[in-house]
Structure 1
C-alpha cells in the first residue's frame, strides 16, 4: 500500500479465509464473526489497495487473480506469526545472532498454488524454520535464468525443459464435476446425459479423450463457454453454469465440502503431470533439495489419501 502500513491482523485473517473458502459467510463462521464484519474488512482492504478483490455474484463471491496472489502471501505471513506466537511456551527461542532464514522463491500456477499447495505451506514453515519460502503465483512460465528472482518452479506439462533439471511430482486424474444445484439438482443418470448439459471448456483440457473413455459418440463442443483461467472455470462450475472436466488435485476440497460433485467413476489420466523444475547450477541447491523432499512427501500423502 502507498503509506506502507500493514492492514490489521483481523483484516488479513478475514481476507485469507474469504479467498480460501470463496464465501464471506463461511469465512465469518470460521472466524466467529458476522458476515457484515467480514464484508467490512474486505471493503477496507479494497479501499486501501485501490482495487477490487472479489467479484460479487448472486451465489457468492469469486476472488480476483490479484486476490488469489495476495492471499497466498497473507497465508504464509499468518503461518509465520502463528509459529512465532501461537506456541511461544514450547518453541525454543532463537538466539539473536542466529543466521537469518534463507529466502527461496517458488513459482506456481495460481489455481494449483491456491487449491493444493497453499494449505500445506504451514507444515513446511514449522519443519524448515531456516528457509523462508515465498510462493510466486503466475500463469507465465518462469524463466529460471538467475535474473527473474525464481529459484524453483512447479510446472504442469510434459516434463522436458532444456537446460533445467526436472522431477515428476504428481500425475493427474481428470473427470467431470458439477454443482449439486446444477439443473436444479436433477440427477444426471448416465454419461450420455451430458448431451443435454452445458459443457464448459478449458483451452488446455479437451473433452474428447473423456468422451472416448466413457464410450460416448460425442465431439468436442464449440459453442459453449471456454476459459483459459482454471479458477474462473471452477468458479463457474460451482455457480451452476454447467459441467466441466476437472483435475482431481484442484477440486478435492470442493468435493469433500459438497460444493461440487463428481459425475460417475469414469476418469482419464492426463497426458501432463506436475513437475518441480530448477537450475542445476543454482546457488541454493540445499534449500531446493529440502523443498523437493517436502513436496514429494506431500504428494505421497495425497496419493495415500485417495
Structure 2
C-alpha cells in the first residue's frame, strides 16, 4: 500500500514560517501571498492530524509537536537539496551557510573572512544572523557560531575560545558620578544588564557579595551593550576583542583589575552530527577552528 506523503510545497511553507516566526515574511520569501501560505500550513496540519503552530494575533509559535516535526522536515529537505544530480555537480557552486551572533559577525568574523577567501576562493560563504539565547534550533545553515553555555544536545559542539570579561565605562559618564576607585564604588553607578554577560560572576571575583541587578537598561546583544556604554548609559561588562578599538580611541575605559577569567558564556562552533560533511563544509570548519580557537588571536 502506498504511503501518502505531505505535499512538498506545504513542507517548505512550514519550514519557512518556523524559521522566520512569521507567515507574512515566509510568504514573501516563497513569493506567495500570506493567505496562500496559511492554506499550505492548514493542509499540512490536516495531513498530520496535529497543530504545528500556535497562532496569537499576528505572531506564531511552534507547538511541541511542531518543534519535533521541524527537525524531521529540515533533515528531509536538506537531504533532497544536497543529493547530487547527474550533470549538475560540475556546475554547482560550492557554498557554506553559516549562522552567527551579530556581535561576533561584526567584530570578529568579517575582519577575518578575507583570510578564508584568499585560501579558498572557490567556496562561497552565506552569512545569516540570530540572537543568542533566543533561538537554539539549528536552522538550515551548515554551521553555526553560538554564544552560550555550550549545552546543545544531539549536535557536534566545539568551544572556540574563552575571553575574560571586565567592566568598562565612557569618560563622559565617569565625569557625571562619584569617582570609581574600587569595585564597591559601583553602588553609585548605573549597571547595564545583559543575559549574555551577567554581573554575578564578576561581583564574586571583585569580592562583592551583591545580587544580580534586576532593574535598569537591559540589552541582550554584546555589540549594542558596548554602544550603550560608549554613549554614557552606564557601566557594562565586555571583552577585549569587542572593546579593543573603543579603548584605543578613548571612547571607553576599563575599570579596575577584576575580570572573570572563564565567563559562563563562550563562543561555540555547532553543526549537526552527520556521518560525513560536504568537503567545503569540513574545510570551513577546520579554518574556523584554526582562526578562532587560539586565545591570542590577532
Q: What SS is found at the alignment partner of 1:162?
A: coil
Task: Tell me how far 1:291 sits from its aligned partner.
Answer: 1.6
Cα distance in structure 2, aligned partners of 1:282 and 1:106:
19
Which residue, 168, 171, 189 being the options, matches 2:159? 168
Query: Which residue in 1 is equivalent to 2:271?
Result: 278
Task: Tell me how far 1:305 sits from its aligned partner.
Answer: 5.0
Deviations along 1:38-87, whole A, 9 cap, x unmatched?
Answer: xxxxxxxxxxxxxxxxxxxxxxxxxxxxxxxxxxxxxxxxxxxxxxxxxx
Change (3 A) 1:279 1:220: closer
Which residue, 191, 198, 220 being the options, matches 1:228? 220
Gaps of 5+ in 1: 1-97
Gaps of 5+ in 2: 1-89
Query: Which residue in 2 is equivalent to 1:182?
Result: 173
Q: What SS is found at the alignment partner of 2:158?
A: strand
Query: Which residue in 2 is equivalent to 1:159?
Result: 150
Q: What SS is found at the alignment partner of 1:106?
A: strand
Give TM-score scaled by structure 1 length.
0.60
What does residue range 11-26 of structure 1 map to in structure 2 within 5 Å? none
Query: Which residue in 2 is equivalent to 1:295?
Result: 288
Pick the structure with greater CA Rg: 2
Give TM-score scaled by structure 2 length.
0.62
Deviations along 1:69-127, whole A, 9 cap, x unmatched?
Answer: xxxxxxxxxxxxxxxxxxxxxxxxxxxxx866411110011111112211111111111
What does residue range 1-306 of structure 1 map to in structure 2 within 5 Å? 101-139=93-131, 141=135, 143-144=137-138, 148-184=139-175, 188-268=180-260, 269-281=262-274, 284-300=277-293, 303-305=295-297
Change (3 A) 1:265 1:142: same
Q: What SS is found at the alignment partner of 1:175?
A: strand
Q: What SS is found at the alignment partner of 1:176?
A: strand
User: How many residue pairs align between the two structures?
Assistant: 205
Cα distance in structure 2, aligned partners of 1:199 and 1:120:
32
Cα distance in structure 1, aligned partners of 2:116 and 2:170:
33
**Contact conserved, 1:110 with 1:138, CA < 8 A, in 2?**
yes
Deviations along 1:205-263, whole A, 9 cap, x unmatched?
Answer: 32122111111233333332222233322211010111011233332332233322211
Cα RMSD of the aligned pairs, angstroms, is: 2.4
Cα distance in structure 2, aligned partners of 1:298 and 1:253:
20
Change (3 A) 1:160 1:192: closer
